[in-house]
A and B are shown apart, each in its own frame.
Chain A
């Protein structure tokens, strides 16, 4: 029998089985509504071109020829709460436990450019992350952490220029020059308008700040990843996997275009662009998503933008497991969800990974929960053997077919966004926001009517759950933060602060690169709120559509 005949015979057998034992669902689909067939058997076409080899264009199988056989992914747990001193303790604990990079969570006032004593900050100081008002806090945050050896990722967007400036100055004070520090700022404002909400200025002015950072870092901070173009929050807001990739790559194209328009040379800044994706529950779709994202981006950079440097074509990314998949009910079940999601990120070839803690649907993680989350990665890396060969799922009929389907669907969205005038214009028209909301509502309906099962929440519930012990941020910390800030305002050279801010305001009204002005202000202990407020005066504030 030929292969074709055997497939036919299998199909006939399948039909018979189905008439006796009907399938569990009328139709099987991935979360992105891609229909899943009962069996994949045919090999992909153009294997050489589309799948290629690891470390080779279009990087479907990964950006490194040897992947995790040479170096495991960076285990980078997002952490931060309360004061700088307290967060510094958690950082040092995580490093002692074998974590290999830092990831700073800032509180909302820091992210939106308000000082801790601003009326807008009431109730928010130190809550979702660490409160940073001035360079003094940043010095406490990074105390005794060797910035020449530890790389630091900072989830900071609208106020990214300020926090990066602080990091540069702390490095200098530790004797580590800007040319040697390594890390990432998120610096992705477009997804803030779409999904995350920590915007300050309107899009045009925000894009200028971003390209100023690109230009400054290319010259002075060459090892820094100047942006982390993020699908994570788009997915958390409710999008499908396809939308996550499509909107993220569309935003990426907008940043590349903005930098080119600002006169930057693509092969100088593009190698420092990085990405950040979510790992949700639909295991194979997630793996296919990462592989498709790499392939699409490589094509965009090479063909659309004409980049020549191979490193400009490579999509490097961080992954975090899906926060919105965690349940408040039976929280220990979340450890299993996180494991499956983390495995998809590893099989998808991530460069770094954050695994969520089991209690994050309830509060910030306790030290014990954070440790289990880190151990989950260590078990995957060191016990499971999945890191021992490159792209173990490459050539899987299903995974390759799904990778193709993800690519096709993503390109459909990219065309649509192009028709709307690109990502900035699509965001201003609320296109992505509406698309995400539509899916989020549908997901909620499916959970409520039981089409979508969430174990422990809408099935297999238990009565009278025992509440786990949760982390509480000491409310006194907020008061101390405010007292310290007000004390700093008395101690510092206020004349120097005033003149730095005046210079910044003037530069903001013109076209000069703002980074040197912000670094000066930071060095003189101007606060995050003062610096951002100075730019608010010139740039105005974003009003949602």
Chain B
């Protein structure tokens, strides 16, 4: 049976800008995915614990405060430490181009910057799920409303 993709959208650190996180959470739901949103002010440890508890496929991190270089890799590190490295991590926010290769080296699969569409994000997620987890769903909308 084809199962829906499960994602945790997380706001690590103290950043209160959640317009993007809320939109991406709703947008991916409309793309047919199951999305849980952590709410504001979560530590990397809290996010990882919630991801394991909720048995998600991926974590999407949002940060607009400039703390991404500390907080994003910490989430990946804690996942590895807790033998949950099968949970894939991607991120988005106000992130300078030059930081992106460094974050990718540390295990963040992709970074989405301002101007990215929900569809591009959804497309990336499905592709990644196919390649890494043998997910068998369709690459286009797996149900729900079209944006």
Contact = CB atoms under 8 A, between A and B. Distances in A.
B105 interface: no
Given A119-B43, A440-B19, A544-B40, A127 B67 contact: yes
Given A198-B16, A544-B39, A327 B114 contact: yes
Interface string B14-42: 11111100110011000000000001110
Interface residues of A, number: 43
Nearest to A81: B66
A327 B15 contact: no
A458 B118 CA distance: 13
B16 A197 contact: yes
Nearest to B63: A123
A440 B22 contact: yes
Contacts of B67: 122-124, 127
A440 B26 CA distance: 11
Interface in B49-70: 65-70
Contacts of A362: 94, 96
A197 B65 contact: no
A70 interface: no
A482 to B, nearest CB: 13
Interface in B1-22: 13-19, 22
B43 to A, nearest CB: 7
A467 interface: yes
A197 B67 CA distance: 16
B115 A328 contact: yes
B39 A108 contact: no
A425 to B, nearest CB: 21
B113 interface: yes
A192 B117 CA distance: 27
Interface stretch (A163-171, A248-256, A443-451): A443-451
Interface in A471-528: 472-473, 475
A128 B19 contact: no
Interface in A350-393: 361-364
Given A327-B115, A328-B115, A363-B94, A120 B19 contact: no
A14 to B, nearest CB: 36
Contact of A363 (B13, B19, B96, B119): B96
A329 B96 contact: no
A322 interface: no
Interface of B is mostly: loop
A402 interface: no
Contacts of B117: 448
B87 interface: no
A419 B118 CA distance: 36
B78 interface: no
A328 B15 contact: no
A121 interface: yes
B94 A108 contact: no
Given A440-B19, A467-B97, A124 B40 contact: no
Given A327-B114, A361-B114, A124 B43 contact: no
A475 B71 CA distance: 14
Nearest to A544: B39
A127 B14 CA distance: 11
Contact of B19 (A124, A237, A544): A237
Interface of A: 108-109, 111-112, 114, 119-124, 127-128, 192, 196-198, 236-238, 324, 327-329, 361-364, 437, 440-441, 444-445, 448-449, 457-458, 467, 470, 472-473, 475, 544
Interface of B: 13-19, 22-23, 26-27, 39-41, 43, 65-71, 74, 94, 96-98, 113-115, 117-119, 147
11 contacts: A114-B14, A120-B43, A122-B13, A124-B15, A127-B65, A197-B41, A198-B14, A324-B19, A362-B94, A363-B94, A444-B23
Given A120-B43, A127-B65, 20 more contacts: A108-B13, A108-B16, A108-B65, A122-B71, A122-B74, A123-B68, A123-B70, A124-B65, A124-B67, A127-B66, A197-B15, A197-B16, A362-B94, A362-B96, A437-B26, A445-B147, A457-B115, A467-B97, A472-B96, A544-B39
